[in-house]
């Protein structure tokens, strides 16, 4: 197996951790790193010991997006996105377990897109988001045009994408882009608590919730009701659901095993 250079990965206590690890360039994505992220996400996806995934950055940034020093003259942007970034976004959204973005510092360009693709987002109060694409004459990619309008509506999404201004943690929280914001002294502890919570939860139910919410963005109420009934049949037959109902009757907390 080739040596991993640009990220750190770890699996422990049901949690798969992926740390973007090019701190000198604010964890900008180069070709090697996008390949290593894809491999790590595939391995987390296939590992039943991993019941939730946490993605963060080393040093002071989450990620500054595409490594601008590594765009070779004449290379295809479209081909690069399709081979390097789009699979990462699809691996996150199709992962049958919660993926948590721990936004420790600035997340710009595709770094912001990657965070948006995650299911739960925790942000350091010192961090910021930037739709940096437009500042270099590019357009949002890696899912930003899908996620942003769904999160904040067209009007705000256009402003963020077209102006490319910094979005503070406070604004990101009030816009509903992130779930939680913590000051620096609490960020790590609270992040760990969230990862621990998801790693001990009903994994199958989480994965069905992901699928159902994604499905609902393009369907009618009628179709969503049908899909909910279908998915509830699957959820209701899992060991975790049966254990939780039994635990309720026995007046004790449920023990979820992710099955
Ligand atoms: O086909 C395709 O590739 C299309 C894909 C596009 C996807 C995208 O993500 S496009 C958007 C790319 N990202 C950007 O445009 C952001 C560029 N970076 C910045 O605007 C700023 O660095 C930040 C606002 C993120 C942070 O600013 P600041 O002042 O805190 O840090 P800094 O001094 O600018 O950067 C620190 C170092 O990181 C510096 O290195 P040096 O000079 O000390 O050796 C800087 O060059 C490096 N760095 C920051 N961002 C990138 C980067 N190096 C390479 N690529 C970067 N994106």
- For the segment 87-114, the average pLDDT, to the nearest whole number, is 97
75 shares its domain with 150: yes
User: Is there a domain that residue 259 lies in?
Assistant: no
- What was the pLDDT predicted at 92? 98
195 shares its domain with 220: no
96 shares its domain with 211: no
User: Which of these ranges, 20-29, 74-83, 92-101, 229-238, has the smallest mean pLDDT?
Assistant: 229-238
Asked if 22 contacts 15 with a C-beta cutoff of 8 angstroms, the reply is no
Domain range for 193 is 7-199
* Nearest atom in ligand 1 to 85's CA: 5
Based on DSSP, count helices (H) and strands (E) in the chain, helices before strands: 11, 10
Q: Measuring from atom 46 of ligand 1, which residue has the nearest CA? A: 25
- What was the pLDDT predicted at 59? 98
Q: Measuring from atom 53 of ligand 1, which residue has the nearest CA? A: 25
- For the segment 153-173, the average pLDDT, to the nearest whole number, is 97
164 shares its domain with 218: no
- For the segment 154-160, the average pLDDT, to the nearest whole number, is 97
pLDDT tens digits for 121-145? 999 999 999 999 999 999 999 999 9
Rounded distance between C-alpha atoms, residue 164 and residue 128, angstroms: 12
Helical H runs in the chain?
A: 31-46, 77-80, 86-94, 110-117, 144-152, 154-163, 169-175, 184-199, 203-216, 221-236, 239-249
Residue 177 confidence (pLDDT) above 60: yes
39 shares its domain with 67: yes
Q: Is the CB of 28 under 6 A from ligand 1?
A: yes
Confidence of residue 237 (pLDDT cuts 50, 70, 90): confident
pLDDT tens digits for 37-84? 999 999 999 999 999 999 999 999 999 999 999 988 899 999 999 999
Across the chain, what does the average pLDDT equal? 94
- For the segment 198-209, the average pLDDT, to the nearest whole number, is 97
Residue 219 confidence (pLDDT) above 80: yes
Q: Is the CB of 165 under 6 A from ligand 1?
A: no
Q: Is the CB of 208 under 6 A from ligand 1?
A: no
Q: Is the CB of 134 under 6 A from ligand 1?
A: no
- What was the pLDDT predicted at 235? 84
C-alpha of residue 132 to centroid of ligand 1, in Å: 9
195 shares its domain with 215: no
- For the segment 227-240, the average pLDDT, to the nearest whole number, is 85
Q: Measuring from atom 55 of ligand 1, which residue has the nearest CA? A: 67
End position of a domain, from candidates 178, 199, 220: 199
C-alpha of residue 28 to centroid of ligand 1, in Å: 7
Rounded distance between C-alpha atoms, residue 102 and residue 99, angstroms: 10
User: Is there a domain that residue 255 lies in?
Assistant: no
- For the segment 151-156, the average pLDDT, to the nearest whole number, is 97
Confidence of residue 2 (pLDDT cuts 50, 70, 90): low
Residue 87 confidence (pLDDT) above 60: yes
What is the number of domains present in the chain? 2
Rounded distance between C-alpha atoms, residue 205 and residue 197, angstroms: 14
User: Is there a domain that residue 50 lies in?
Assistant: yes
């Amino acid at each position: 197996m080739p040596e991993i250079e640009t990220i750190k990965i770890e699996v422990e206590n049901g949690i798969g951790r992926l740390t973007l690890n090019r701190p000198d360039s604010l964890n900008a994505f180069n070709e090697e790193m996008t390949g290593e992220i894809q491999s790590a996400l595939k391995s987390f996806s296939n590992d039943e010991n991993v019941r939730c995934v946490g993605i963060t950055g080393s040093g002071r940034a989450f990620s500054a997006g595409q490594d601008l020093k590594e765009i070779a003259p004449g290379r295809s942007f479209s081909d690069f996105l399709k081979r390097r970034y789009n699979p990462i976004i699809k691996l996150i959204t199709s992962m049958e377990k919660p993926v948590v973005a721990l936004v420790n510092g600035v997340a710009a360009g595709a770094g912001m897109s990657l965070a948006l693709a995650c299911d739960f987002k925790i942000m350091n109060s010192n961090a910021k988001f930037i739709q940096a694409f437009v500042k270099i004459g590019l357009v949002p990619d890696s899912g930003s045009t899908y996620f942003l309008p769904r999160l904040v509506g067209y009007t705000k999404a256009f402003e963020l994408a077209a102006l490319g201004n910094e979005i503070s943690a406070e604004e990101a929280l009030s816009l509903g882009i992130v779930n939680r914001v913590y000051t620096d002294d609490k960020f790590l502890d609270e992040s760990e608590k969230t990862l621990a919570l998801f790693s001990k939860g009903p994994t199958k139910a989480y994965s069905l919730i992901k699928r159902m919410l994604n499905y609902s963005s393009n369907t009618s109420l009628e179709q969503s009701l049908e899909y909910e009934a279908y998915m509830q049949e699957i959820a209701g037959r899992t060991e975790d659901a049966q254990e939780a109902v039994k635990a309720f009757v026995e007046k004790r907390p449920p023990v979820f095993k992710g099955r």
